[in-house]
């Protein structure tokens, strides 16, 4: 289905004024027609009665569009075109606006219920209630603005089998109204479902943290890609995956971002202990490297300045004492030797 733009002039105000003038003329023509008499009087009376009875149909063709909005119009089931551009229009009053996603409410911008919107308890639809008829009026206009879909958090296993929770925000817009309306059943629900599947397809290729012997790019070479460390690359791959799936629905994916990333609650405590243990090992390694360097420097300076001569046994004792002082978790308690060194 190819989108067709209706090149109708913004003649809504002129047509509305014409219909009002015709109504005024019709109401004036009925009492005047008997006075005119003859065939002309009868004709004026008949035309006035017809317009008063059916003239309201013309008002149904008046359409108002705000910036970045569109109306997909059909005439007796056939696609006639899309009305785009802000303004006041008049179209064929028998044309019907189509938007299968008008009642769909997702966790996204543009689907927030306004203060004047009410819910019909019988049908479950949302919209402004006409006080005269009591029916819900559903807005069939399609927004062409950029919208943000805040997808629900999902529990997914990464490439190592660890369950994680991840959520994404997808910025999107409708670029082809005909495809969005006629190619899929409900383009909002379709987008949400494709976001879920694309997220699972990409996340299962990555570990949460950098892991050895893991190929995340598919080139057969192990790399250091991870969900936590390569969030920009992961988000771009998710965006490309979603775009590939929704291009037949006339939707453009502008950006995808990871909004939440954490281990699942059942393994979060164990993974935290693992990260803490790794941090402690790295810190201890740094402390030991520094302590060894300091001991080596102390022995060299004592030897060069002839402060004291130590045999191998005394050097070993000194090294042991210095390492205990430098690598210990608590402050050392010094013992003063008041006697001979030996």
Listed by start position, the domains of the chain span: 12-98, 147-263, 269-327
Tens of pLDDT, residues 277-323? 777 777 778 888 888 888 888 878 877 777 777 777 777 877 777 77
CATH number assigned to the domain with residue range 147-263, chosen from the 4 options 3.40.50.300, 1.10.3720.10, 3.30.479.30, 3.90.870.40: 3.30.479.30
Taking residue 41's Cβ as centre, other Cβ atoms within 10 Å add up to 15
200 pLDDT tier (thresholds 50, 70, 90): very high
Tens of pLDDT, residues 138-180? 788 999 999 999 888 888 988 888 888 999 999 999 999 999 9
Instruction: Look at 270 and 65; give whichever has higher pLDDT.
Output: 65
Tens of pLDDT, residues 14-27? 999 999 999 898 88
Answer yes or no: pTM beyond 0.85.
no
- Judge whether residue 191 has pLDDT over 90: yes
DSSP class per residue in 42-76 = HHHHHHHHHHHHHTHHHHTTEEEE-TTEEEEEEET
What stretches of 105-225 show up as alpha helix (H) in DSSP? 177-182, 187-203
pLDDT at position 247: 92
End-to-end C-alpha distance for the chain, whole angstroms: 99
């Amino acid at each position: 289905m190819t989108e067709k733009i209706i090149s109708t002039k913004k003649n809504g105000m002129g047509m509305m004024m014409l219909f009002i003038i015709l109504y005024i003329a019709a109401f004036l023509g009925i009492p005047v027609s008997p006075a005119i008499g003859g065939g002309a009087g009868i004709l004026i009376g008949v035309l006035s009665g017809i317009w008063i009875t059916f003239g309201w149909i013309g008002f149904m063709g008046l359409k108002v569009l705000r910036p970045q909005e569109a109306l997909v119009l059909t005439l007796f089931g056939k696609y006639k075109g899309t009305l785009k551009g802000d303004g006041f229009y008049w179209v064929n009053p028998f044309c019907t606006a189509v938007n299968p996603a008008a009642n769909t409410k997702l966790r996204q911008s543009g689907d927030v219920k306004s203060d004047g919107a009410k819910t019909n308890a019988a049908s479950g639809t949302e919209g402004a209630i006409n006080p005269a008829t009591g029916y819900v009026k559903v807005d069939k206009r399609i927004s062409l603005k950029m919208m943000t879909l805040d997808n629900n958090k999902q529990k997914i296993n990464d490439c190592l089998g660890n369950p994680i929770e991840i959520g994404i925000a997808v910025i999107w817009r409708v670029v082809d109204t005909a495809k969005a309306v006629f190619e899929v059943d409900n383009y909002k629900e379709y987008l949400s479902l494709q976001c879920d599947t694309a997220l699972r397809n990409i996340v299962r290729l990555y570990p949460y943290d950098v892991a050895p012997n893991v190929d995340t790019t598919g080139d057969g070479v192990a790399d250091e890609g991870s969900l936590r460390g390569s969030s920009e690359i992961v988000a771009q791959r998710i965006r490309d995956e979603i775009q590939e799936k929704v291009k037949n629905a006339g939707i453009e994916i502008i950006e995808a971002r990871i909004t939440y990333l954490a281990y699942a609650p059942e393994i979060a405590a164990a993974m935290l202990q693992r990260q803490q243990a790794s941090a402690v090992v790295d810190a201890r390694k740094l402390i030991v490297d520094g302590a060894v360097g300091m001991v080596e420097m102390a022995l060299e300076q004592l030897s060069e300045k002839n402060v004291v001569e130590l045999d191998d046994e005394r050097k070993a004792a000194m090294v042991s004492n210095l390492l205990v002082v430098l690598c210990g978790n608590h402050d050392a308690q010094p013992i003063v030797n008041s006697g001979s060194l030996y």
